[in-house]
Amino acid sequence: MSLELGGKNAQIVMDDADLGLALEGVLWGAFGTTGQRCTATSRLILHEKIHGKFLEMLVERVSKLRLGDGLLPSTEVGPCINEGQQETVAGYVRVGLEQGAKLLTGGTIPKGGALDGAGSTLPRSFPK
């Protein structure tokens, strides 16, 4: 279940859920359109019985997301709309860590190859 809660959009996954289907919903909710929409998932509430297993599944899949040019069919996560938005996202990561969050994957601005914009059609504001 996904709830719009005034910009703190939560997805809830219970212990009787189809975890594969729930995972796809969480991935789309959090990373679809690069998370740049008002209903993007920003919180995950997991039943304690599936918490560890689901987090393991999520981290494994998120670590394999294909970043790149949003116009290419092979890309799963395109660029932030501009540098300001990119800094906002990085700021959320910093705030989370300052408040005691545990980083399970990522946390830095991706770089290298097409992510640097060399020879690609990526907008200039994509990670440098």
Please write down the long-range contacts of 102-108, taking CB distance under 8 Å and 24 or more positions apart: 104/55, 104/59, 105/59, 105/62, 105/63, 106/62, 106/63
- In the residue annotation, 80 being an active-site residue is answered as no
And the tokens for 104? 């399970």
User: CA–CA separation, 11 vs 109, rounded Å?
Assistant: 25
- In the residue annotation, 60 being an active-site residue is answered as no
Catalytic residue annotation: 4, 38
